[in-house]
Structure 1
């Protein structure tokens, strides 16, 4: 894992290009630790991408340290699920730049971001049924909530590749760009987010997640609670002052 913090943006690069960034238990834990480090370091946005020609090819089956008798659910409980929860609950926004194939658990990691930019040559692949397993790392929820039941079942049951354009049409990613424009586009988005009111963005993340399952009444209650918190921030006061003074706001993330 490569970690860099610059102008409020923490860039995390999955860094096993020789293995197409396939994840081990240690790597999953390191991704999670790097996300938490970004918050501790004061980052106001995260950019998550992969080194080399892949985003993440899923679990490193060839490099597994456990045997066939090991219960796969244990690896989910102790490694995959904590990462998925951290991606979901991080108090700062995440831009994902899918630079190449995202397969298996890599789909869950990629779609765990907030604004997902995908290179035109990249693809998504829920490969689990091809080896007798089921989707994990949150991919079931993320795909079904974004693309709907029919598309989620098609992807998971057939285990076929989904092109970048198809992923965009299915509502799984926000933007598809030419390969050489991927990182500049994702970096510009991350920098924009880092300049915005950080506390409000974190509340928006939680609010949208809750709205996917809540009733209207429950959502209205959450909105009121979050507005109370946001309304007490220095960034809200700055935003109002900038509006009244007809100038660009200078948010500090407080």
Structure 2
């Protein structure tokens, strides 16, 4: 099973916008492997087909899209706590690989199974004795960490913060205390339309000397990153778009 990275522009381009060439963000090996695969386990079949069309423009696909076997990862019911899918359900997804076909795992953007679904199917692939091959490609988390100037030797990705204002403020203060006590960089993401609200909450509840890094739209045209003390952020605010993915990180300063 190949873990196939995708570009970070999914869902960030307006109608009619031209996406960046795949060759700018994905090595030739990834394009060659993706073009040769005919069986896929994916987060979203529609966007995977769009990705494969872009691959085809560079390396012809081994089989027409309509002949591909594309199975979507199971999604938990809305509002329910995340629980691993039953092994039997994962086995069905991996059946082509067990039968001898190479299979690709792909998520919406970046590296599958990193801040994206897919870890359960990777775990099950190992348990079934399948070879798992990660391919080189963009990871928003690692790009943001490298650009932050924060501790890259010890860091934690904490996912999404609570939406409720009070719970979010409490979580921000908890993460700040941990960052100051341990020296560990704390990283988080948010659904793009909530990015401005998260930035406002971070600036409101972090101490002035705490460092805050924001990386927005990395690898995209117009992408940027800033890493300053909270006091400087307040002196020189930066508008954050509500339709482009961003990664936030804090450090004790």
Is TM (by shorter chain) over 0.5?
no
In the superposition, the TM-score normalised over structure 1's length comes to: 0.27
- Pick the structure with greater CA Rg: 2
